[in-house]
Amino acid sequence: EIVLTQSPGTLSLSPGERATLSCRASQSVSNNYLAWYQQKPGQAPRLLIYGASSRATGIPDRFSGSGSGTDFTLTISRLEPEDFAVYYCQQYDSSPQTFGQGTKLEI
């Protein structure tokens, strides 16, 4: 089973700042089958990034993903008020298709 470890657990920033979230895998994720999701309270997750670096439909370009192998990063270039939420990475390379424990982005 691939274990995903996200850091930091909580990130405190202000609107307009840059956010960098990390996701580290216990073994290599083939084909860069790594996704990022955003979840707000009381809502289902929303796909942001797939294939480690491709933005999903309708996702603003301030969101970007990078990385390969075991180290992946989600960057939000200039935080908007609506970006404060919990972010999860997920690998869909091998079963079980595990999630990281999440990073809470707070003001």
Partner 1 sequence: QVQLVQSGHEVKKPGASVKVSCKASGYTFTSYGIIWVRQAPGQGLEWMGWISAYNGNTNYAQKFQGRVTMTTDTSTSAAYMELRSLRSDDTAVYYCARKPTGNAVDIWGQGTMVTVSS
Interface contacts to partner 1, rule CB under 8 A: 31, 33, 35, 37, 39, 44-47, 50-51, 56, 88, 90, 92, 95-102
- In this structure, what is the dihedral angle of CA atoms 103, 37, 78, 57, given to the nearest 10 degrees? 180
Q: Taking the complex as a whole, how short is the minimal distance between the CB of residue 107 and partner 1, in angstroms? A: 19
**SS3 of residue 90 by DSSP:** strand
Helix-, strand-, coil-residue percentages of the chain, each rounded to 5: 5, 50, 40
State the minimum distance, in angstroms, from the CB of residue 4 to partner 1. 10
- Closest to partner 1 by CB, 16 vs 96, is 96
Please say which residue, 12 or 31, places its beta carbon nearer to partner 1. 31
For partner 1, which is the closer residue by CB, 20 or 92? 92
Query: What is d(CA 95, CA 91) in angstroms, rounded to the nearest whole number?
Result: 9
Residue 83 CB, shortest distance to partner 1, in Å, is 19
Pairing status of strand 34-39 against strand 46-50: antiparallel
